[in-house]
Amino acid sequence: MQKILIVATSADKIGDIDTGLWLEEFAVPYKEFINNGFTVTVISPKGGPVPIDPKSEDEKYEDSKSMLLNTEKLDIIDYKDFDALFLPGGHGPMVDLAKDETLAKIVSYFASANKVIAAVCHGPAGLLSAKTSEGQPFVSGKKLTAYSNMEEKLSRMDDKVSFSLEDSLKMLGAEYEAGAPMLSCTIIDGKLVTGQNPASSKKLAKEVINLLSCHNLGQEA
């Protein structure tokens, strides 16, 4: 049975604003993964409960929240035993995952092992610090998407975040693309799958499942 590692934020504040994980971006892919027979483990930088952005609370995702109550710590997990890595968003990753050295090592390992890496919305912030085996930014030359400057402006967070995710990805050499604000947009580049915003969560999860299924068929053949 294939295993998916989800790395969630531990940050509950951005400045003086309550933030954390955007629940839809975790719950929708989590359900898709579980319903398709994958084993899922959730970890976070601090371990323990994952903070949920209060603006994302929705009773239809209540049944997924139990997985967020007692996560393992990111720096003690045996990450080499997993087949795919997924980084959900919310503004929390802009605070902690963007500069987490352990996560950078995990991303670099998954890239070097040609394993699936996926991230949605602000989740790609967790890719910023990762390097290739040649010491270049992992995102350099990669076609990807993430929460756009326009979406930050529309959500009135453009003056609250400490940096622009879109601009940071571009500065590191990523081939950033964005669709219409708040509508589903998913981009695949090899084993890298990225989604622009919460609306992209389901499509991203299906693309991850497809990549893992194709890989599994290849092994069986």
Q: Between vectors from CA 168 to CA 111 and to CA 15, what angle results, nearest 5°?
A: 110
Banded pLDDT at 220 (limits 50, 70, 90): very low
Residue 205 has pLDDT above 90, yes or no: yes
By the 8 A CB rule, do 191 and 127 touch?
no
Q: What is the mean pLDDT of residues 160-181?
A: 98
Interior/surface letters 109-123, b for 16+ CB within 10 angstroms, e for the rest: ebbeeebbbbbbbbb
Instruction: Centre a 10 Å sphere on the Cβ of residue 75 and count the other Cβ atoms it contains.
Output: 16
Residue 183's pLDDT band, with cuts at 50, 70 and 90, is very high
Q: Between 201-220 and 23-35, two packed helices, what is the crossing angle to 10 degrees?
A: 30
Q: Which two tokens stand for residue 101?
A: 């050295």
| pLDDT for the residue 1 | 87
Model pLDDT, residue 65: 95
Burial class (CB in 10 A: 0-12, 13-18, 19+), 167: exposed
**CATH class of domain segment(s) 3-220:** alpha beta
Which pLDDT band holds residue 216 (cuts at 50, 70, 90)? low
pLDDT tens figures, 98-130: 999 999 999 999 999 999 999 999 999 999 999
Indicate the SS3 state at residue 103.
Answer: helix
- Whether the Cβ atoms of residue 45 and residue 100 lie closer than 8 Å to each other: yes
Average pLDDT for the chain: 96
Question: What is residue 147's three-state secondary structure?
Answer: coil
Going from the C-alpha of 14 to that of each of 17, 92, 95, 153, the distances in angstroms are 5, 7, 7, 16
- For CA atoms 169, 74, 90, 15, the dihedral sign is negative
Each residue's pLDDT tens digit, 42-72: 999 999 999 999 999 999 999 999 999 999 9
Nearest residue to 169 (alpha-carbon basis) of 213, 201, 126: 126
Residue from 144, 210, 200 nearest 28 by CA: 200
Sort 58 into a burial class: Cβ within 10 Å, 0-12 / 13-18 / 19+: exposed
Give domain limits for the chain.
3-220
Rounded CA gap, 204 and 179, in Å? 14
